[in-house]
Amino acid sequence: MNERVVVDPITRIEGHLRIEAQMDGNNIAQAYSAGTMVRGIETILKGRDPRDAWAFAQRICGVCTLVHGVASIRSVESALKYKIPPNAELIRNLMIAAQYVHDHVMHFYHLHALDWVDVVSALSADPKATSALAQQVSPSWPKSSVGYFTDMQNKLKRFVEAGQLGIFAKAYWGHPAYKLPAEANLMAVAHYLEALEWQRDVVKLHAIFGGKNPHPMFLVGGVPNPIDLNSDSAINAERLAQVQDVIHKMRTFVDQVYIPDTLAIASFYKDWGERGEGVGNFLCYGDFPSTGGMNDTSNFLIPPGVILDRDLSTLHPIDMESPDEIKEFVSHSWYDYSGGKDEGLHPYDGETNLHYTGPKPPYSQLDVEQSYSWLKSPRWKGKPMEVGPLARVLTLYASGHEMTKELVTATLAKLELPPRALFSTLGRTAARTLETKIIVEAMQGWYDSLITNIKAGDTKTFNETQWDPSTWPKEARGVGYTEAPRGGLAHWVVIKDGIIDNYQAVVPSTWNAGPRDAEGVPGPYEAALQDNHQLHDPMQPVEILRTIHSFDPCIACAVHMTDKDGNEMLQVKIR
- Side-chain-side CA neighbours of 496 within 13 Å: the count stands at 7
The 3-class secondary structure across 167-219, one letter per residue, is HHCCCCCCCCCCCCCHHHHHHHHHHHHHHHHHHHHHCHHHHHHHCCCCCCCCE
Are 541 and 23 in contact, with CB atoms under 8 Å apart?
no
Closest CA relative to residue 114, chosen from 163, 161, 172, 62: 172
With b for 16 or more beta-carbon neighbours within 10 A and e for fewer, the 93-104 pattern comes to bbbbbbbbbbbb
3-state DSSP assignment of residue 334? coil
Torsions phi, psi for 178 (to 5 deg): -80, 130
Are 85 and 460 in contact, with CB atoms under 8 Å apart?
yes
d(CA 421, CA 407): 14
d(CA 525, CA 536): 20
Instruction: State the distance between the two ends of the chain, measured CA to CA, in whole angstroms.
Output: 51
Closest CA relative to residue 321, chosen from 493, 483, 452: 493
Are 22 and 4 in contact, with CB atoms under 8 Å apart?
yes
Are 53 and 480 in contact, with CB atoms under 8 Å apart?
no
Sheet holding 4-7, edge to edge: 4-7, 17-24, 27-35
Active site residues: 14, 61, 64, 68, 486, 509, 554, 557
Are 355 and 374 in contact, with CB atoms under 8 Å apart?
no
Closest CA relative to residue 194, chosen from 146, 239, 254: 254
3-state DSSP assignment of residue 395? helix
Cα maximum dimension of the chain? 74
d(CA 290, CA 299): 6
Residue type, 465: T
d(CA 532, CA 375): 25
197, burial (CB in 10 Å: exposed 0-12, middle 13-18, buried 19+)? exposed
DSSP for 361-381?
SS-S---TTS--BSS-EEEET
Are 548 and 17 in contact, with CB atoms under 8 Å apart?
yes
d(CA 329, CA 323): 13
d(CA 386, CA 511): 6
Q: Are strands 27-35 and 287-289 parallel, antiparallel or unpaired?
A: unpaired
- Side-chain-side CA neighbours of 155 within 13 Å: the count stands at 13
Closest CA relative to residue 490, chosen from 501, 479, 476, 500: 479
